Amino acid sequence: MRFAGGRYDGRPQPPLLSPDAAGLARPLADLPGVRPLLARRLAGFGLETVGDLLTHYPRRYEDFTDRKPIADLKVGEEATVRATVERVTLDHGQRRRVTLLKVVLRDQSGVIVAVWFNQPWLAKVLEPGMVLSLRGAVRLRGGAPSFVVKAHEILAGEGETVHTEGIVPVYPASESISARVLRDLVHDARRAARSVPDPLSGTMRAAERLPAKADAVLAIHAPRSHPEAAAARERLVLEELLLMQLGLLLHKSAEQRASRALALGRAGETAARFLSGLPFALTAHQTKAIAEIDADLERTTPMRRLLQGDVGSGKTVVAVHTLLRAVEKGHQGAFMAPTETLAEQHLETLRALLGPLLTCELLTSRLTAAERRAALAGIASGRAAIVVGTHALIQSDVEFRDLAVVVVDEQHRFGVVQRDEMGRRAAAGGRTPHALYMTATPIPRTLALTFYGDLDVTVIGGAPAGRTPVVTRLISEGRRAAGYDSVRKQLDKGRQAYVVCPLIEESEALESAAAVAEAERLAAGEFRAYAVGVLHGQMKTAEREAAMAAFKAGTTDVLVATSVIEVGIDVPNATVMIIEGAERFGLAQLHQLRGRVGRGTEKSYCLLFTSPRREQSSGERSDARLQALRATSDGFALADRDLEIRGEGQLFGTRQSGLPDLKLAKLTRDREAVVRARRLAREILAGDPYLESPADAPLADAVRAAFGDELAWLLKA
């Protein structure tokens, strides 16, 4: 590239790479015109080689196909013109604060003055006789028309353009690297796309009606039409998703080949008594889920199943049954939760459902040294039939006597590698425990097939009989008093209410302090006639248990809490949920919190209070979340809406460890492609389970490259 005063001058450049070059690994720093500073900036942007550059795909396109003669230009209308430079003048303006470059341009239809603001260096570049392609719009200045330039190029030879005519790609850029610089680099390097290896065979491309990869790469960077760009994107998106699906299915297959679990046989009398003794009938979805899990547990292949269901759909009963399947055969079960509060709640639920028949042990970091030693001894001896805990369960000093089943709750907080680690650390005696992963956050199908593509999926739909939909209302600051009044009416009927304090992501301690302050304010103000309690994550275990016991017993009318009550709490008499600062929460979390009410037969309410300081600044995305929550109580519909609003990159907060990045595919728009890629991956592996045939060698190489060293063992037979 050629620069003038450190700026690109718009001159055409010779191609950096020949059409037959195989220099995809060539460093960008070695290319002509890429100075050291630019090379460092490109490297900081993740672009170090020609191959990196060719996979830096456009995020959108500008349609500059409307080239016009000067005589046809209209005031206020953006267009492209080609014209010859006749005269160049530079006006520094008053006090030299603004420079105005004026260039008289002529084509066969007429003459116009083109204007550049604050680009005086161009006066030394543009010369009479040069042919320019310019993008801009005609504006009236002092009553006379001027063409205000948005972008320009100096033409030579055949007059090929990059920035001002046709379908112009717009690349993800930064403050230090402009989209124009990236466009020039890609344009000069795209001839190397002919040497891009194609992992898809000609047979597959023909069957799926896909272009060759080289053609798709060229077309996505320099499409001749919008349909051509769309077809190129479809080809590259499908390949990206296919590689991910192949990797996930190979990962699942490799795990199953390398591991053996204890076949637990058919369900016995203990599990049957548990199910028959429940005070309610199982739903059809629960019955189906139990049947699928029981079938898994009869095999020596370790179960790897994701159990997902909406709030209140009855996943816990299925989990307890799964754990009992191990215990009734004389083995141990483990129930892992991401937080200590949730682990404690699961322990309480197990004790309530199972009574004194089984010994359940708790293992978290909050145990004293003596308590931990006692817990570890019970686990090692087998005295503890079911162990409930956090990540403490997979620490090196935890030894199970005979662990056969692991249930992991809130699985969406963990990635692929973490799932493997849980299984490997819990394995003993050459056996791997069966694993059931649960989530109360409904997952759109496209995410289930990607983030959890190596798991079998069971969905529990609906809710237990007798549950009534929760009425959801959005309460602005001006209606706060009326909102409190409606809560007091419920309290006067003998019902109870939750108040959830705003989310403070920076500190759990600050969030807990805010809950205490809010409880004190409400006890002295709006709810002074009622018993107000508080629950937060900084309380000691005994204090939290006492707070929850008081609320469940009805001695506390209003429980002010942090989001620790998001899951696991079941108080049927609680019919009101107030969520303060509702715009700060994600849609899935709001749905989870709302699920704490409506667990009895009485009509229940969820009041979404918005913070007055954030109502105007929270933006359209927050409003869309709250309106979606009002519109439906279907968690799976909300999950799809959440995916549309936030995108997959934010839905789970962090990148799923062990999965390759998606450079082009977007699950919000490529849902059909995900399903298509899953089908193709299964068909390919059905004929070549380890991608060992010569025909699939390019595909195997691409999978290895996509997943990297972290999962390099995938293709080892």
H-helix segments, 582-670: 587-594, 619-631, 635-646, 648-651
- Determine the pLDDT at residue 621: 55
What average pLDDT does range 683-699 have in this prediction? 91
What average pLDDT does range 548-555 have in this prediction? 91
- Determine the pLDDT at residue 376: 92
* 354 pLDDT higher than 80: yes
Confidence of residue 14 (pLDDT cuts 50, 70, 90): very low
Angle (CA) 691-697-702 rounded to 5° is 90
Question: How many C-beta neighbours within 10 Å does residue 482 have?
Answer: 10
What average pLDDT does range 236-264 have in this prediction? 86
Give me 8's structure tokens.
């690109």
Alpha carbon of 22 to those of 148, 188, 195, 452, 696: distances in Å?
Answer: 42, 14, 5, 37, 22
Distance of CA 338 to the CA centre of its chain: 19
What average pLDDT does range 278-288 have in this prediction? 89
Which uninterrupted H or E stretch holds 403?
A: strand 403-408
- Determine the pLDDT at residue 617: 42
What average pLDDT does range 355-381 have in this prediction? 87
- Determine the pLDDT at residue 291: 96
* 607 pLDDT higher than 50: yes
Q: How long, in residues, is the chain?
A: 717
Question: How many C-beta neighbours within 10 Å does residue 436 have?
Answer: 29
Give the C-alpha separation, 641 to 631, whole Å: 11
Dump pLDDT digits (tens) for 457-506: 888 876 666 667 889 999 988 899 999 999 999 999 999 999 998 876 55
What average pLDDT does range 191-207 have in this prediction? 91
Can 269-460 and 470-632 be said to share one CATH topology? yes
Q: What is the mean pLDDT of the chain?
A: 83
What average pLDDT does range 54-63 have in this prediction? 92
* 510 pLDDT higher than 90: no
What average pLDDT does range 335-340 have in this prediction? 84
3-state secondary structure of 318: helix
- Determine the pLDDT at residue 15: 42
User: Closest by alpha carbon to 333, among 456, 409, 417, 435?
Assistant: 435
Give me 500's structure tokens.
């959830």
Q: Choose the weakest-confidence range: 178-192, 496-510, 662-676, 701-715.
A: 701-715
- Determine the pLDDT at residue 63: 92
Distance of CA 360 to the CA centre of its chain: 35
Percent over 70 (pLDDT), the chain: 83
Give the C-alpha separation, 623 to 631, whole Å: 12
Pair 533, 497: CB distance under 8 Å? no
* 375 pLDDT higher than 70: yes
Give me 447's structure tokens.
């995410």
Dump pLDDT digits (tens) for 102-160: 999 999 999 999 999 888 889 889 999 999 999 999 999 878 899 999 999 998 766 68
What average pLDDT does range 681-701 have in this prediction? 91
* 359 pLDDT higher than 90: no
CATH class of this structure's domain 470-632: alpha beta
Max alpha carbon distance in the chain (Å)? 97
- Determine the pLDDT at residue 592: 82
What average pLDDT does range 28-32 have in this prediction? 85
Q: Where are the domains of the chain?
A: 3-59+189-196, 62-170, 213-258+674-704, 269-460, 470-632
546/651: higher pLDDT = 546
Phi and psi for 3 in degrees, rounded to 5?
-120, 150
Range with the largest mean pLDDT of 153-162, 401-410, 459-468, 678-687: 678-687
Give the C-alpha separation, 28 to 47, whole Å: 8
Give me 545's structure tokens.
């248990």
Confidence of residue 316 (pLDDT cuts 50, 70, 90): confident
* 654 pLDDT higher than 50: no
3-state secondary structure of 155: strand
* 613 pLDDT higher than 70: no
Which DSSP string corresponds to 88-136? EEEE--GGGSS-EEEEEEEETTEEEEEEEES-GGGGGT--TT-EEEEEE
User: Closest by alpha carbon to 137, among 112, 154, 159?
Assistant: 112
* 19 pLDDT higher than 50: no
The DSSP output letter for 151 is E
Dump pLDDT digits (tens) for 578-593: 999 888 887 778 888 8
- Determine the pLDDT at residue 427: 56
440/674: higher pLDDT = 674
Give the C-alpha separation, 575 to 595, whole Å: 10
The DSSP output letter for 283 is P
* 277 pLDDT higher than 60: yes
Task: Name 425's Cβ contacts closer than 8 Å, sequence gap at least 6.
Answer: 394, 396
- Determine the pLDDT at residue 444: 66
Confidence of residue 21 (pLDDT cuts 50, 70, 90): very low
Fold of 62-170: OB fold (Dihydrolipoamide Acetyltransferase, E2P) (2.40.50)
- Determine the pLDDT at residue 461: 74
- Determine the pLDDT at residue 89: 92
- Determine the pLDDT at residue 419: 54
Give me 296's structure tokens.
């898994």
Give the C-alpha separation, 17 to 33, whole Å: 13
- Determine the pLDDT at residue 250: 86
- Determine the pLDDT at residue 249: 87
What average pLDDT does range 668-687 have in this prediction? 90
Which DSSP string corresponds to 8-30? E-------SS-TT---TT-BGGG
- Determine the pLDDT at residue 506: 56
Phi and psi for 404 in degrees, rounded to 5?
-115, -25
Pair 12, 153: CB distance under 8 Å? yes
Q: Is domain 269-460 given the CATH code 3.40.50.300 in the classification?
A: yes
What average pLDDT does range 248-276 have in this prediction? 85
3-state secondary structure of 691: coil
Question: How many C-beta neighbours within 10 Å does residue 697 have?
Answer: 12
* 615 pLDDT higher than 50: no
- Determine the pLDDT at residue 505: 59
